Amino acid sequence: MFERILRPKYSEVVLMKLKDISKIIGGLNSQRLRDASRDSVVYTADDLNHDLSMGYHGDYVFSDKGMVNAGDVVFHLMSATSAVVSMVNDGKLTSQNILKFQFDRNVYDPWYLCYVLNEAQSIKHQLHNMKEGTVSKLITPTTIRNLCVKFPDINTQQQIGFIYSQMLVVNRKKQQYLQKQNEAILGILRKKDSNE
């Protein structure tokens, strides 16, 4: 059923480079971040992973360079992971390892972009082929700007993006449930174990 709903018509898919559809902004370099972070909190890879599991779909406002606002799409260069910033991390500073995408939300869906950047095999192949460096291959801002993404019509993007974000939320809730269940079982075992 989902396949029939989500399959776009071939004529509706448009191939675009990310730099052509989005303003891509890097975070602050280490010196500027160190100076600025005395008064502010820094957005980390852990924050990004948290945001990925929150499924934020609220309001969005273009934010200042070097700072994330709720609704921003961000990409971590070291982990090659993308997320939509949640309210919890609104206003945090970003390092140069985190890129922020600003684009027309009437044409491109933020969670669809996250889905493609995180899950699409074509993106994984492009990233592998475009990594730079001789000893350790790195993803650079230029690499991300030159990624080619196929975008279906906005309705299809929104459907895929919504289902993807909800899947991540459900996965987080399942993990939290399993963790609580494990803690409860271990608590019972520890009460019965003479080694405790």
pLDDT at 39: 67
pTM of the model: 0.82
Residue-range definition of the domain harbouring residue 182:
2-192
pLDDT at 4: 46
pLDDT at 137: 66
Most confident of 23-32, 49-58, 174-183: 49-58
Name the E strands within the chain: 14-17, 22-26, 42-43, 73-76, 81-84, 93-94, 98-103, 148-151
CB 28 within 8 A of CB 64: no
Report the amino acid identity of residue 178.
L
Tell which residue, 84, 81, 94, has the closest CA to residue 43: 94
Helix, strand, or coil here: 174? helix
Q: Is the pLDDT of residue 1 over 50?
A: no
Q: Is the pLDDT of residue 89 over 90?
A: yes
- Structural domain count of the chain: 1
H or E stretch including 182?
helix 154-192
Spatial distance between the Cα atoms of 183 and 166, rounded to a whole number of angstroms? 26
pLDDT at 62: 75
pLDDT at 196: 65
Spatial distance between the Cα atoms of 97 and 28, rounded to a whole number of angstroms? 9
Helix, strand, or coil here: 195? coil
Spatial distance between the Cα atoms of 40 and 67, rounded to a whole number of angstroms? 10
Tell which residue, 167, 68, 164, has the closest CA to residue 117: 164
pLDDT at 136: 61
Q: Is the dihedral of CA 38, 43, 44, 46 positive or negative?
A: positive
Quick: pLDDT tens for 138-151: 788 999 999 999 99
- Whole-number mean pLDDT of the chain? 86
Helix, strand, or coil here: 42? strand
Spatial distance between the Cα atoms of 119 and 28, rounded to a whole number of angstroms? 27
CATH (domain of 162): 3.90.220.20
Spatial distance between the Cα atoms of 74 and 111, rounded to a whole number of angstroms? 11
Longest dimension (CA), the chain: 69
Range 83-107 average pLDDT: 93
Determine what percent of the chain is predicted with pLDDT higher than 70.
86
Range 77-88 average pLDDT: 94
Quick: pLDDT tens for 15-38: 899 999 999 998 887 777 777 666
pLDDT at 37: 66
Kind of pairing, strands 22-26 and 93-94?
unpaired
Between 26 and 84, name the one with better pLDDT: 84
Token output for 37: 């972070």
Q: Is the pLDDT of residue 135 over 90?
A: no
Q: What share of the chain is helix, strand, coil (3-state, %, to 5)?
A: 50, 20, 35
